[in-house]
Amino acid sequence: MTDTLTTASNTAGIAQERRVLTAIPGPKSLALQERRLAVVPVGVSSALPVFIERAHGAIVVDVDGNQFIDLGAGIGVMTIGHTDDAVIAAAAAQLGEFTHVMFTITPYEGYVRVAELLAEHTPGDFAKKTVLLNSGAEAVENAVKIARKYTGRTGVAVLDHAYHGRTNLTMAMTYKAMPYKLGFGPFAGEVHHAPNSYPFRDGLSGADAAARTIAYLEKAVGASDLACLVAEPIQGEGGFVVPADGYLPALQEWCTANGIVFIADEIQSGMARTGAYFASEHFGVVPDMVLSAKGIAGGLPIAGVTGRAEIMDASHPGGLGGTFAGNPVAAAAAIAVFDSIESRGLLAEAARIEGVLRPALLALQRKYDVIGDVRGIGAMLAIELVRPGTTDPNPAAVSAITAYAAQHGVLLLSAGTWGNVIRFLPSLAIGDTMLAEAIGVLDEAFASL
Ligand code: PLZ
């Protein structure tokens, strides 16, 4: 794949190259940051206060003209690349037709088409239905709501190190207190946190880790009180934690045996990121419900809960909805994203990226003993940093590496319960040359530690 992209948009002139022209942040960003601090609360902080003006492909350009190689894609949203022609064209065409009528007043085809595409591309060949929402957290909320209605039970099981959102229920479902929960309670009840599978830290086989999860839930809650178990097939904010083989199938089997709805939160891991439409496929699980958001619409806000028709139909008419939910412009963009994944063979691009990035990360691990683990699938890879010779988390090294990278024109995201993970989730449009260049900067960053 070449590093030259063409586009119909006014971002056509953005060369797919790294360019550092000023100190980072530059003077214009600093001035904007000052305005921002006066009117935006400190609770909404930014990992890197450089203000973005334009973006294309895998490059974001700041107001000072600096060009960054984007290895985070806005946390896995810009999966098919920034300002993608097909997405722009589809959204623009819809903008000129109508932007809102509200599906629960008068419906439109785009919503139905997105539901058809999700039914087709989520795991499982049974009848499925989809409700569309605006955000990942809202999808999680609705999945729980539907599972409760279907089962007539209240309990919600989640896994340690999970992230499910920032609303009241999803804060309760999220593991990490700081920054997501501290002082923001009381939280929704009936949420139960069970141990997960974290091979690097627990050393357990999938079967043993699942036995531990299940034993906890049976003892502390009781299977018959659980409406659903919500799990990220690969934990996102938790640090791209890939469960041991057999862990997820064992959980699913237990859920099925006990009438518990098995829900895959694929908000970060889904939509082609791992080289499959949904990461569940890599683990051989077919969830009762799959949640999607982030990468589904090229940056426009839309999210979906897709599940077995009989579960999804448990809600009475009028029980599900929302003003902007399934917005027609976002739906048009989502259809263009699905089309692009097919017509451009983007699932294979995730494998190509893994083919370049994984060996490079493993080589860095051999060189720098601060890298304790290299893991992930497709274009969802991570390194976990430790104090050399131990598994003690090393968040200071992550801060130093991400700061060095930013100074040198590479946007890198951290993750993990201890903030000691660097995650790589670039756009599938990133070329090999830019990947290699970013790896070069990463190598320099580790050398500078
Ligand atoms: N479930 C698995 O990854 C969003 C949030 C970053 P929303 N993750 C990034 C932040 O600091 O807010 C996420 C996720 C998984 C749910 C969500 C929530 O999705 O669209 O942010 O609500």
Write out residues with Cβ below 6 Å of ligand 1: 75, 135-137, 140, 163-166, 232, 236-237, 265, 267-268, 293
How many whole angstroms from 22 Cα to the centroid of ligand 1? 32
pLDDT band at 11 (very low <50, low <70, confident <90, very high): confident
Please give the Cα distance from 90 to 334 (Å, whole number). 9
The answer, yes or no, to whether residue 4 has pLDDT greater than 80, is no
Residue 267: Cβ within 10 Å count:
28
How many whole angstroms from 4 Cα to the centroid of ligand 1? 31
The answer, yes or no, to whether residue 6 has pLDDT greater than 70, is no
Please give the Cα distance from 325 to 320 (Å, whole number). 10
How many whole angstroms from 400 Cα to the centroid of ligand 1? 25
Beta carbons within 8 Å of 298's beta carbon, 6+ residues apart: 77, 78, 79, 80, 84, 87, 91, 333, 334, 336, 337
Please give the Cα distance from 352 to 430 (Å, whole number). 10
Whole-number pLDDT of residue 12: 65
Whole-number pLDDT of residue 13: 78
The answer, yes or no, to whether residue 5 has pLDDT greater than 80, is no
pLDDT band at 388 (very low <50, low <70, confident <90, very high): very high
Which residues of 378-412 form beta strands (DSSP E)? 380-385, 410-411
Pocket-testing residue among 135, 164, 302, ligand 1, by greatest number of atoms within 8 A of Cβ: 164
Instruction: Note whether 349 and 428 are within 8 A (CB).
Output: yes
What does the mean pLDDT of the chain come to? 97
> Which residue has 């930014």 as its token pair?
46
Q: Which of 9-13, 14-18, 179-183 has the lowest mean pLDDT?
A: 9-13
Instruction: Summarize the confidence of residues 260-270 as an average pLDDT.
Output: 99
- pLDDT tens, 371-384? 999 999 999 999 99
The answer, yes or no, to whether residue 346 has pLDDT greater than 50, is yes
- pLDDT tens, 208-257? 999 999 999 999 999 999 999 999 999 999 999 999 999 999 999 999 99
pLDDT band at 9 (very low <50, low <70, confident <90, very high): low
Please give the Cα distance from 52 to 305 (Å, whole number). 31
Nearest ligand 1 atom, CA 140: 16
Share of the chain above pLDDT 90, in %: 97
> Phi first, then psi: what are they for 67, rounded to 5°?
-115, 125
The answer, yes or no, to whether residue 203 has pLDDT greater than 70, is yes
- pLDDT tens, 38-85? 999 999 999 999 999 999 999 999 999 999 999 999 999 999 999 999
Beta carbons within 8 Å of 41's beta carbon, 6+ residues apart: none
Whole-number pLDDT of residue 1: 38
Please give the Cα distance from 383 to 423 (Å, whole number). 7
Domains and CATH numbers, the chain: 27-70+345-448 (3.90.1150.10), 88-343 (3.40.640.10)
Proportion of the chain in helix, strand, coil states, percent, rounded to 5: 40, 15, 45
